[in-house]
């Protein structure tokens, strides 16, 4: 895979993961996974539990440090810099600055319980970017309106439903104006009737051209929204392609077996 590191070429992928390996003790979770995502595209990663999907997603923003391989986002190395022809891990400050450009939404909402919805959304721009209070508040109000929660901006997390809390978490990630959004099974902790309201926000982001990588069990969402579907199993990328191909006529027997169980 050719790795481009320019920041100016619009034809370069927004995300490039190159031969990512990750091991926990004797268990090899990722076995050389490579993936490229073009700007404005949505990639959905599906597969069984234990396939390495979430670990791979966390490697994209260096929440997990790959044992080997590397990631570029917007042409920038993630967690490393080149020195004398080799990769050298950078310090925590540089890693945090990089993560500020990559929004991530987890299975659990991870909101600060002692803060209101708008305070949760404002926090990172105030603390990390040192934005003016008025600027951070104006963006937070606009984002909460976008996710349908303007009227609940002064409520605390315990006063919100699970779906509402997850929408606040999405607004919080967007408050840093990321170039990329990562979703790690963002609806898996929700009651079934609340899933749709979160998926609707994710659909609107896709329609607006946000580059997204989504680990998901929502096959219908992947079929309708993804530009590309990736099937992972056993720490490898088994196959990937257009949703119409992967979800309707996969070439690999393991993909067919998985889909026959979940559809």
H-helix segments, the chain:
53-60, 92-99, 117-127, 133-146, 162-174, 192-207, 219-225, 243-248, 253-262
Per-residue pLDDT averaged across 177-197, rounded? Answer: 94
Residue 34's closest CA among 65, 9, 70? 70
**Cβ neighbours of 262 (radius 10 Å):** 10
- pLDDT (tens digit, 9 = 90+) per residue, 202-255? 999 999 999 999 999 999 999 999 999 999 999 999 999 999 999 999 999 999
Residue 114 confidence class, pLDDT cut points 50, 70, 90: very high
What is residue 149's three-state secondary structure? coil
How many Å apart are CA 107 and CA 99, to the nearest integer?
Answer: 18
Contact in structure between 246 and 262 (CB atoms under 8 Å): no
Predicted model pTM:
0.93
Residue 186's closest CA among 147, 155, 154? 147
How many Å apart are CA 145 and CA 143, to the nearest integer?
Answer: 5
**Cβ neighbours of 42 (radius 10 Å):** 26
């Amino acid at each position: 895979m050719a790795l481009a590191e320019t920041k100016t070429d619009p034809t370069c992928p927004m995300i490039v993961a190159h031969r990512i390996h990750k091991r926990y003790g004797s268990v090899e979770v990722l076995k050389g996974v490579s993936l490229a995502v073009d700007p404005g595209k949505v990639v959905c990663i599906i597969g069984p539990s234990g396939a390495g999907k979430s670990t791979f997603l966390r490697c994209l923003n260096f929440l997990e440090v790959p044992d080997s391989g590397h990631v570029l986002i917007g042409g920038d190395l993630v967690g490393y810099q080149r020195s004398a022809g080799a990769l050298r891990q950078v310090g925590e400050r540089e890693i945090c600055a990089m993560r500020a450009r990559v929004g991530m939404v987890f299975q659990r909402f991870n909101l600060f319980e002692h803060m209101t919805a708008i305070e949760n959304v404002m926090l990172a721009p105030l603390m990390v970017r040192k934005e003016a209070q008025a600027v951070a508040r104006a963006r937070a109000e606009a984002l909460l309106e976008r996710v349908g929660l303007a009227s609940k901006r002064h409520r605390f997390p315990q006063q919100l439903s699970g779906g509402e809390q997850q929408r606040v978490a999405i607004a919080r990630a967007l408050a840093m104006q990321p170039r990329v959004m990562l979703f790690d099974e963002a609806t898996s902790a929700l009651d079934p009737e609340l899933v749709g309201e979160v998926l609707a926000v994710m659909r609107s982001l896709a329609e607006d051209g946000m580059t997204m990588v989504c680990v998901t069990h929502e096959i219908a969402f992947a079929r309708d929204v993804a530009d590309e579907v990736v099937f992972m199993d056993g720490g490898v990328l088994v196959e990937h392609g257009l949703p119409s191909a992967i979800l309707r006529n996969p070439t690999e027997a393991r993909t067919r077996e998985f889909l026959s169980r979940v559809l």
